[in-house]
Amino acid sequence: MYRSLKYFFSNPLATIGVIIIALFVLMSIAPQLFTRYDPYGINTAERLRPPSFKNLLGTDEMGRDVYSRIVYGSRLTISFSVSVVLIALAIGTVVGGISGYYGKFVDSVIMRSTDIFLAFPMFVLAMAIVAALGRSLVNSMLALSLVWWAQYARLMRGQVLVAKQELYIQAARATGTKGHVILFRHILPNCFSPLLIKTTLDISMAILLLSGLSFIGLGAEPPTPEWGAIITTGRKYLIGYWWYPTFPGLTIFMVSIAFNFVGDTLSDLLDPRRTS
């Protein structure tokens, strides 16, 4: 464990990623520690003010503090993005595990259903589902989860196909252990390394997709301080009031790249071919 942590934090990009993620997770848990302004507080006398000591990232068209809205928006954006990936992971793990372990007709039916979801561009299919369910951040989260699970199912199936040929699984079968016990107690826990890497990398993609849905009007509704929704309103003020849409965009970029740094380092750490 110590050697793994030492290897992980020996990578400066991974260390930076962990610091950024920890900072924004803390913001999402206790935003009042980072700002004294109300993210919904309107003050038209201070509208569209540039960055200053009073308002670190400027104000928007309603005089609201942009920095405060980004801080409080971290709770929505990060929590919903993590929820998207965890829901997709849970569904995909169970479905892919069942498909890979039982095979034959079950595998054929599940994988053909999976192929249907994989055949459509994820963002386009999510747009269609949100349009059918109705515009909201919760529906955006559910829509992305419903189209994302197929990737995890495909990955887990491949892991299970390899794991079920191991000697300890054959020994469990020989002792009369039931199939579902073998699958959920012995196989799935030993197949999570590649899923952990994919989960970490996918959180950054979920942030981008959720923000994208809000940006096109299918996610969070104003005045919700969600990062994509802030950019949606702020883009009209890009010329002349650049700070309004720029800083939320930079925040999305920074958090997304932080998760990528961590995911890439985990990929190296968990690589079975790594010798040191």
Provide the CATH number for the domain around residue 194.
Answer: 1.10.3720.10
Mean pLDDT of 166-194: 82
Identify the pLDDT of residue 149: 92
pLDDT tens per residue, range 13-27: 999 999 999 999 999
Identify the pLDDT of residue 6: 81
Confidence label for 7 from pLDDT (cuts 50, 70 and 90) = confident
Identify the pLDDT of residue 272: 58
| Amino acid (1-letter code) at residue 264 | D
Identify the pLDDT of residue 191: 81
pLDDT tens per residue, range 227-276: 988 998 898 898 889 999 999 999 999 999 999 999 888 888 776 555 55
The single-letter DSSP state of residue 50 is: P
Structural domain contains residue 227: yes
Structural domain contains residue 3: no
pLDDT tens per residue, range 121-175: 888 888 888 888 888 888 999 999 988 999 999 999 988 888 888 888 888 888 8
Identify the pLDDT of residue 31: 92
Calpha distance 220→223 (Å, rounded): 8
Positive or negative: CA dihedral 13, 18, 20, 21: positive
Cα–Cα separations (whole angstroms), residue 105 to 64, 111, 246:
58, 10, 52
Identify the pLDDT of residue 271: 66
Contacts (Cβ under 8 Å, ≥6 apart) of 269:
4, 7, 8
Structural domain contains residue 7: no
Mean pLDDT of 214-224: 83
Identify the pLDDT of residue 137: 86
Q: pLDDT at residue 204 above 80? A: yes
Range of the structural domain that residue 122 is part of? 12-269
CB 151 within 8 A of CB 115: no
Structural domain contains residue 188: yes
Q: How many domains does the chain have?
A: 1
- Residue 147 or residue 222, greater confidence: 147
Identify the pLDDT of residue 154: 92
102 in helix, strand or coil?
A: helix
Structural domain contains residue 2: no
Structural domain contains residue 249: yes
Q: By percentage, how much of the chain surpasses pLDDT 90? A: 45
Cα–Cα separations (whole angstroms), residue 272 to 103, 202, 218, 268, 269:
27, 21, 42, 9, 8
Q: pLDDT at residue 218 above 70? A: yes
Give phi and psi for 65, each to the nearest 5.
-75, 120
217 in helix, strand or coil?
A: coil
In order, the DSSP letters of 132-148 are HH-SSHHHHHHHHHHHH
- Residue 276 or residue 12, greater confidence: 12
Structural domain contains residue 147: yes
pTM: 0.87
Q: pLDDT at residue 2 above 60? A: yes
Identify the pLDDT of residue 89: 93
Structural domain contains residue 77: yes
Calpha distance 29→22 (Å, rounded): 11
